[in-house]
Structure 1
């Protein structure tokens, strides 16, 4: 054999030079990144504190702050948030103030124009002016801590270098803007659910509307009331919705339960060995790098209370956690906290009718800064009820009356939970809490438990909120807010169990005042309830086990139907085997689960296409989106009963439609290029936990993205999980027994990829390991003077 020809020396020299260059570039990048690492140890003079503050961090980066005044601990928390999470905080305030374009450019202009209508920055400043002096002081000290923490970094957070921007200082109003950002996540800032539901109710024949948009059914599991009865089949033929020659509209459906929500529940002391209540809470949000929450703890000066739990970078409070006497968690109510008002216009369109006669619109001009471009101007039309946010399907302008616009909508009253010693005392604070309306579930060290709505509830007069009606004649309006005595609540129920999961919780008068803002189906909530009633005694680990329950109870009847369809169909033999042996769980290694789950969604796409086609004839941009979260009920009736008059006329039979739905599933799976036996649920449901900048700058994902783990869990079960959404935290804690508690986050404490805390805790979150709720022994000590 001939010896290989040696490379020319110049090529070797070139390769060596390239290697050295790459090494130098990597070293330079590493040195550049290191400049913005947070300070962990030592002593730091601030010139702004009343007394020294100690920050002890454990090896996972969980801090505990010891201070002699509440304003000093707020300063320290602001310092920590800025050092670890400033870019995240900046995005939160800009998201709700409509100021993202100033940072990232014209790509965010549409978003800013839509949001600026609400003028949240001006509302934040108004709300702060109305606060008690002590709350304003805490907010100012928090802002001072943020700005000091930012100034003590060796360089601005690394994201600003990539964007060629400089960070802007924090002001107290920015902290309320983070609350408004959560409103935008958890409630619609344009009233979309009400707008689409109104269109369906007005345009569809009445019996088809009642069938396709039901208000509940057998999956309901409220705290008060019962599940609703079965659907009645409509009389109208679905073919009547489709005009001859009109092409059928199709829209691929996501799971209707994949909503920003959460699970929480509590068991009373009668069911625990230590006699304290145990609270479980997992808040379902978009999972990104960094995580939305920042774990922290602090003493409440002059008291016996110690705070621990999840803080939201941007504010000086624990959102969900324990004060050592009371523990609490939140889930989104998905009830109705805003009303769209169709306006009656004058002939010229320049005025609108009010109970006091015709009135001119108030016009506000908003200037939107755009990075690298001249600013854009926006005209905001305002009414006595709220801003104009869009038009309905009849092209009538819509004003929006929304709790978020009022002074009571955003405040710092969550601070009062820090010194609530009992469940009853904490529940009494609920109407005063200025946050997006939440199911507040609580338990105390004496074993008492409770549920109520956290947030002010409007007193509607002349309307129930289910339909948009004119307020022009004065018969429909909001008459302030409900009193504490009128607030829906459940305290120490005989079962010693309380559960919520974004579905309907109430019936009767309580349901009337809460309304329906698009409740989740209820299957997830029902499975949690049934898990709780399957045991008579509970430990913290037992509640974590429920959080990790990925049994596909909801899909069992769909699996049986699909297996029956496939039995004996030779060309689908391999598919049949996978469906038959699916395992009954949303397991990452199950092929059958993936097929059954996606078959259901494609069946819904095809069976409801005539309704979508009809709606788009009158409202071309109409989309179901997640407006119809109860679609399971008509879908199941069509699948199981096969009513001939409801068959999509594109198909000759229900069997043909079902096989078409299955074929679409199999075609989508085949795109991965893997054999069917390897097309697991984990392949589709692999984690995509990435930094927000990773969408625009792919290289960011190289050093910030979490591993692409195949994930178990799905919607319609307690272990709520998708590639990008899921449990932003999992918490299980008994007040007074925090050392036995459990806490998970999908990513670590720090947003800095070189921080020792960057990915800490991720593996416990993926695998469900019971990691500690409380911080461990101090690995780092920083004293602020």
Structure 2
């Protein structure tokens, strides 16, 4: 209805001029009077000013609406954690109990329902991470992220991770296959009728970039393929193989040898010092020779170039897929005779590259009535996308992992002509297949994969990608030279189908040492150190894994000439019963920190590229000191995990203190070292000295090696480089001390002085002029970044997904291994991805903590809610008993069978 009334002048009244009812009293009246006065003043403004105000108000409204929409999109994927959800495929009801940190404990009546419940919860919290992982392991990242992901896809397609996983399904036991299939059903039940904006905010961001995408159903192969990525992360010494050749090319064979010191077997206690294998006396010198005779062929320029290109390409693969360096782990187990509870204690903290969300997700899987029909009752750390618990405990046993680190990869330099490869004097045909990489927002890329008897020619990828870059997205085929070319083949045990998934389920179900060892026998890749404890009081160690036996010409330390048959693998692997193992050792404890598993007389060659034992020896020292003082408890184990003593500092600091620096500004940092205890806390006493020492260390490495080694061989500052510099300190006139860029000839103390002076200036730039105010935590920062869109370069997206700026202690080669790369800066590159201590005598007395939270949603309170605790060394109660879990429950979700 239209108002047509007029006033006394014959005009229709302006509604804004009509008399208003008297405003109410009190606060509401005050607000009404304020708004009325504001509106009258606004109408009195000139028209242009009012129009500008209208535009500004519109922009503000648009921003408010945009912010509101963004908030809705960010919060929409958050999981339902209470009430009831009906899903298809369940045999009965499944309960999901979450505590204050969102950690889920799943209860069901059948194995299938437990797997379905785990799959549903994993998908609720982390499906985008799962989806990215399966795209990565299938070489399909470019379908989501465009041309920037083509290089990674090409390497993964060339190695054929998913093709291997597809073959593994048929090798698994019926129980494992059924568990994998039920898990996939649970994931797909979550995805059913759910749009991508309800699954993850990352999909909404990608959609803004033009991605049109609906996730495919989850399959068992998707789960198996992720195990290939973990095996790649822990693959052994392939990077060292390349580095040895390129170092020799840069400085000559003799000087390069000094950069790879021999393993100090006489100084480091191996993991296993007794047991059925170790106790035997080996006189099989001929057999040992078959696997240990070194061969260091002199490669030609084109062969070295192929190795350099391969190394550069592998370094550009996403860090979250693993680079095989800078990582390690600690674990140890103590017998009940040495503990306050009278039962064993087991500690574990795997060191992996940092990411957000972290690699682990805590969870428990519990049959309501444990028995033959439903035997699972387990809790621990899981991989999203993989059913079961990877590290943890059940009602009877606990287990932990560190990387065994055997040499399970070899690079072979091949002589290739067209479609043939030279081997044993004959040209043999290469196996060739075609791949197509779909590229979001770009043209497809054609990839030709060539494979020799040793493995895929991974060097092809670097050559082809160079062609791809030049063609700016056109279809590209394999580069084929006119004559013979140098190519690099990768032989790797994980490229053969295996049964590691069987081992995961069997470990979850094992109830004693014999069942544990039987389960471990299927753990083929990655090869791991497994520590064990049980409720009966036993402790133990087992080394599983598929480890090749090589012929006489190949020691695995450098790439081999592929055309010589004496370099081939024999096709046999170290027998499982011959791998090191021990139950209830005389010492009453087992320590594993990536050091040598056994001494040099062990008959099979595992590797000589072990971690050099600084962490294992420090743990041994701390543990034995505590045992001498009396029984140990959970808190003692946790305290050892947080030890920050630098192993190189006692060697280097005396030399630094002997250098005569000018008094005042120049020697302020040096003075901090006088009473330093070599610890590296983030804050507090000794933190200033730690900051100064580490900056000196980084500068010293650059001064020593940057003038002669190319940037891709720059020292990272880890244990190998500590050993190199320790040897050089005893040779003050060694040529490495001289800077070839200058006219002078520098000796040791000249270079040490320059390193300290430059460190003093650098810390002024980074922190403050006052040396006493420096802290190691100020420069040693933990920045957690989303591995995908968190590196997009789009500031709002990065701000949404990334969480930065925790100051932490520790460092490379330290028990609290918050590692950093001296060639890149002081930011943490790898860290304890979780920490746990299990107590078989009372499972509810166990403790655990994750590097991040359990959720992959940035709007979730559980995205990084454990990181603050992790950074200061705190842990959470690890509850296992049904009553304890029930008392700690904050949210209860019931999954009910759909009609």
The 8 Å contact of residues 262 and 284 in structure 1, kept in 2 or not, is answered as yes
Deviations 1:596-624 (A, max 9, x none): 12322322332234652xxx6xxxx8625
Matched, 1:270 2:342: no
Distance 1:610 1:204 in 2: 11
Could you tell me which residue of structure 2 aligns to residue 643 of structure 1? 733
Deviations 1:512-535 (A, max 9, x none): 43113x432321221111111112
Report the aligned-residue RMSD: 3.0
Distance 1:597 1:16 in 2: 53
Could you tell me which residue of structure 2 aligns to residue 244 of structure 1? none
Matched, 1:633 2:727: no
The 8 Å contact of residues 651 and 726 in structure 2, kept in 1 or not, is answered as no
Deviates more, 1:696-705 or 1:369-378: 696-705
Deviates more, 1:72-81 or 1:600-609: 600-609
Matched, 1:779 2:850: no
Report how far residue 85 of structure 1 moved.
0.4
Map 1:272-671 → 2, pairs under 5 A: 272-300=339-367, 301-302=370-371, 306-345=377-416, 348-354=417-423, 357-390=426-459, 396-408=486-498, 410-462=500-552, 463-470=554-561, 472=563, 474-475=565-566, 476-510=568-602, 512-516=604-608, 518-536=609-627, 537-566=631-660, 569-582=663-676, 584-589=678-683, 590-609=687-706, 611-612=708-709, 623-624=713-714, 629-650=719-740, 651-654=744-747, 655-671=749-765
Distance 1:258 1:396, change over 3 A: closer
Matched, 1:26 2:67: yes
Q: Which has the higher contact order (CA 8 A, sep 6+)?
A: 1
Secondary structure of the residue that 1:508 maps to in structure 2? coil
Distance 2:271 2:454 in 1: 34
Matched, 1:212 2:212: no
Give the TM-score normalised by structure 1.
0.87
Report how far residue 332 of structure 1 moved.
1.6
Report how far residue 645 of structure 1 moved.
4.7
Report how far residue 439 of structure 1 moved.
1.4
Distance 1:464 1:685, change over 3 A: same
Distance 1:566 1:114 in 2: 52
The 8 Å contact of residues 427 and 451 in structure 1, kept in 2 or not, is answered as no
Report how far residue 192 of structure 1 moved.
2.6
The 8 Å contact of residues 193 and 627 in structure 1, kept in 2 or not, is answered as no
Could you tell me which residue of structure 2 aligns to residue 687 of structure 1? 782
The 8 Å contact of residues 583 and 593 in structure 1, kept in 2 or not, is answered as no
Distance 1:628 1:765, change over 3 A: closer
The 8 Å contact of residues 550 and 718 in structure 1, kept in 2 or not, is answered as yes
Distance 1:277 1:140, change over 3 A: same
Deviates more, 1:401-410 or 1:200-209: 200-209
Deviates more, 1:16-25 or 1:404-413: 16-25
Distance 1:278 1:356, change over 3 A: farther
Distance 1:36 1:628 in 2: 41
Which residue of 190, 201, 204 corresponds with 1:158?
A: 201
Name the count of aligned residue pairs: 740
Report how far residue 334 of structure 1 moved.
2.4
The 8 Å contact of residues 701 and 717 in structure 2, kept in 1 or not, is answered as no
The 8 Å contact of residues 333 and 590 in structure 2, kept in 1 or not, is answered as yes
Distance 1:581 1:626, change over 3 A: closer
Deviations 1:436-460 (A, max 9, x none): 1111111112222222223222233
Distance 1:762 1:153, change over 3 A: farther
The 8 Å contact of residues 122 and 384 in structure 2, kept in 1 or not, is answered as yes
Secondary structure of the residue that 2:723 maps to in structure 1? helix
Secondary structure of the residue that 2:652 maps to in structure 1? helix
Distance 1:474 1:138 in 2: 43
Could you tell me which residue of structure 2 aligns to residue 133 of structure 1? 174
The 8 Å contact of residues 365 and 380 in structure 1, kept in 2 or not, is answered as yes
Distance 1:737 1:333 in 2: 29
Distance 1:625 1:133, change over 3 A: farther
Distance 1:433 1:649 in 2: 49
The 8 Å contact of residues 427 and 450 in structure 1, kept in 2 or not, is answered as no
Distance 2:325 2:569 in 1: 33
Could you tell me which residue of structure 1 aligns to residue 219 of structure 2? 171
The 8 Å contact of residues 415 and 562 in structure 2, kept in 1 or not, is answered as no
Distance 1:625 1:24 in 2: 51
Report how far residue 377 of structure 1 moved.
0.8
Which residue of 88, 105, 108 corresponds with 2:149?
A: 108
The 8 Å contact of residues 219 and 523 in structure 1, kept in 2 or not, is answered as no
Distance 1:102 1:602, change over 3 A: same
Distance 1:690 1:350, change over 3 A: closer
Q: Extract unaligned runs of 5+ from structure 2.
A: 1-40, 275-311, 313-322, 463-483, 820-827
* Bigger CA radius of gyration: 2
Distance 1:408 1:592 in 2: 49
Which residue of 228, 233, 240 corresponds with 1:193?
A: 240
Deviations 1:177-205 (A, max 9, x none): 111111222226x9332222244468865
The 8 Å contact of residues 116 and 187 in structure 2, kept in 1 or not, is answered as yes
The 8 Å contact of residues 498 and 524 in structure 2, kept in 1 or not, is answered as yes
The 8 Å contact of residues 213 and 628 in structure 1, kept in 2 or not, is answered as no
Distance 1:672 1:610 in 2: 25
Distance 1:264 1:659 in 2: 39
Report how far residue 718 of structure 1 moved.
1.0
Report how far residue 385 of structure 1 moved.
2.5
Give the TM-score normalised by structure 2.
0.77
Secondary structure of the residue that 1:327 maps to in structure 2? strand
Distance 1:555 1:673, change over 3 A: closer
Distance 1:302 1:274 in 2: 28
Report how far residue 571 of structure 1 moved.
4.7
